[in-house]
Amino acid sequence: MSDSRPALTKDSVTRRGFLKVTGAGVGGASLLTMLAARQAPAQIKGTTLRILQWSHFIPAYDTWYDAFAEDWGKKNGVKVRVDHIPHLEIPARMAAEFAAGAGHDIIYNGSSILTRLYYKNLVDLTDVADTAAKKYGGWIPSAKSLVEVEGRWYGLPIFYILAPMLYRKDLFDQNNLKAPDTWELARVAARTMKAKGHPTGIALAQCNDANLMWRSAFFSFGGTEADPSGDHPTLDSKELREFLKFAKAIFDEGMTPEVFSWDDASDNRYLASGIACWIHDAISAYRTTEDTNPDVFKNVVLGLEPQGQPGKRVSVAAPNVWMVWKFSKNQQAAKEWLAYLVDNDLEGMVQSRGYNMPYLNDRYKKPMPVIGSDPKLQILQDFPKIVAFYGYPGPSTTPIQEIVNTFVFPDMITRFCRGQSLEDAIKWGVGEYRRIYGKYKQA
């Protein structure tokens, strides 16, 4: 369905740009939203829209989102209800809704993107995506790998979450260490400072962080999970061996065995408690430290994804995608709302204190909200060029999702770090990949 609204958009963009540059804060934001509000077609008046999404790490974002949705609903005569559950539980809820043939209209996926599993039962959102692309300079390259099936988009990516390096400049300076611009420098730093009571840590447990962070390092070392088509696993390689040897080295020299018990929050606490010399984590850790340990916080600095091979940086991000069920009785309102959300994705970025990163090229014009104005966060603006998602360089296919959900990749590293031989650990990991890919080929 084509966009039948008048060309408000050009003016809105200019005004939005103006407000952004003048640094209007919350006040400007509400003006912004009013300006960007479009009058949706009459046929959605009087309907109900139910949205399911996660409990955002930044609670203020949820508060804003709920109010924002309600406002839009009021302006368009739609009753909007937003429910929040933790992102880890969303797959179960999706399965239940699908089995029931009823539930929410819009459903969200975070990290575990199940669009390909459910695409036959999701509404084709290619039109909304194309409109956004036209308006905002196109989608970043990795966006379509998340939701595209047979040329059509069955989900709308709204934002992703970056995981930069967060390091203690004071500790680095005290020890004459160079900023961790390469993984080797990071390892040296960890080794030096572990001896002084400031080790580092990257989770080697069955949690989200373990899946994300180690892959960043692996891909930066030149490794790949699958081929660009996504059909074949390409895990087994020389780069894998180099990476694993590095991982074990950095674990032995710079980390403690407690990383085997970490959950997604542990590295946040590690940094906030003042112990970690650096961590590789989303900026939720930065915000946690800001809130609970101001002394440490003033010394925390962000860094770009370290290089593995010279010049190669790949940062694995946690994607977030919105989808609309085919059984939804209000697909029109759902699409309207999603289009509106995309128009205001920068607002979401502000409300999440810089956490949510947009997928549209134009958004990256500097300075970006929040991260553009905070000198420490400015480096984040350089990430989009190096962002990748699970399955790199291929798309996030269903076998990759299963591999992610059963934590094969971090488990392989754990085995090696715990003493299994390199070849045995690789044999297990590669074997699991092959086995899981094989299952989906049969289907």
Report which of 173, 168, 180, 176 is spatially closest to residue 274, judged by C-alpha positions. Answer: 168
442's tokens: 């049969």
Residue 84 interacts with another protein (CB under 8 A): yes or no: yes
Q: Within positions 277 to 316, which residues make up the interface with another protein, using CB under 8 A?
A: 282, 284-285, 288, 292
Contact pick of 74, 238, 365, 435 for another protein (by CB under 8 A): 435
Q: What span, in angstroms and rounded, lies between the C-alpha atoms of 183 and 323?
A: 37
Q: What span, in angstroms and rounded, lies between the C-alpha atoms of 369 and 380?
A: 11
What is the three-class DSSP state of 335? helix
Q: Which is nearer to another protein, 161 or 346 (CB)?
A: 161
Other Cβ atoms within 10 Å of 271 Cβ, number: 27
Residue 421 interacts with another protein (CB under 8 A): yes or no: no
Residue 130 interacts with another protein (CB under 8 A): yes or no: no
Contact pick of 3, 70, 71, 83 for another protein (by CB under 8 A): 83
Least separation in angstroms between CB 104 and another protein? 7
Binding range to another protein, per CB under 8 A, among 13-21, 41-49, 126-134, 254-262: 254-262
Q: Within positions 369 to 398, which residues make up the interface with another protein, using CB under 8 A?
A: 398
Residues 6 or more apart whose Cβ sits within 8 Å of residue 14 = none
Q: Which is nearer to another protein, 121 or 175 (CB)?
A: 121
Binding range to another protein, per CB under 8 A, among 5-13, 91-99, 230-238, 389-397: 91-99
Report which of 151, 103, 308 is spatially closest to residue 222, judged by C-alpha positions. Answer: 308
Binding mask 311-330 for another protein (x = CB under 8 A): --------------------
Contact pick of 258, 290, 362, 382 for another protein (by CB under 8 A): 258
Q: What span, in angstroms and rounded, lies between the C-alpha atoms of 209 and 202?
A: 8
Residue 52 interacts with another protein (CB under 8 A): yes or no: yes
Least separation in angstroms between CB 160 and another protein? 14
Report which of 323, 337, 329 is spatially closest to residue 41, judged by C-alpha positions. Answer: 337
Mapping DSSP onto H, E and C, the string for 94-127 reads HHHHHHHCCCCCEEEEECCCCHHHHHHHECCCHH
Contact pick of 44, 76, 78, 103 for another protein (by CB under 8 A): 103
CB 323 within 8 A of CB 331: no
Binding range to another protein, per CB under 8 A, among 13-21, 56-64, 235-243, 387-395: 56-64
